[in-house]
Amino acid sequence: MTSMLDKPVTVQETARQQIQDTLQTNKIPAEYGLRVGVRGGGCGASWLLGFDLPGPTDEVYNVEGVRIIIDRKHLLYVLGAEIGYEPGGFTVEKGASASQ
């Protein structure tokens, strides 16, 4: 059984394909991963997504074949988020399934 800390976010199939295509097309080295976090705070908080290298305060996860990087300070905020993709860019939703 996989715990939420083993797989803190989920990645939809369309997003996984887009992430892998972007990494390949832009020849981004394998050490990079998709950083998931939050920017700002309170009501003005927004999602932070981008390709990055892990740092000393980061946790690195393999979620559906995607290398996910989350700063430990952001972990509680992103727990249970689902990363998707639609024309125009990536989406992040935090659903009710996060409170298991």
Task: Summarize pLDDT for 22-73 with one digit per residue, the tens.
Answer: 999 999 999 999 999 998 766 667 899 999 999 999 999 999 899 999 999 9
The CATH number given to whatever domain includes residue 87 is: 2.60.300.12
| Residue 63 within a domain | yes
Number of domains in the chain: 1
| The pLDDT of residue 72 | 95
| CA–CA separation, 3 and 82 (whole Å) | 15
Q: Please count the other Cβ atoms lying within 10 Å of the Cβ belonging to residue 64.
A: 15
| The pLDDT of residue 6 | 80
Strand pairing category for 33-39 and 66-71: parallel
| The pLDDT of residue 41 | 67
Tokens of 41: 């705070």
Contact 9, 59 (CB under 8 A): no
Write out the residue range of the structural domain in which residue 72 sits.
10-98
SS3 call for 95: coil
| The pLDDT of residue 63 | 94
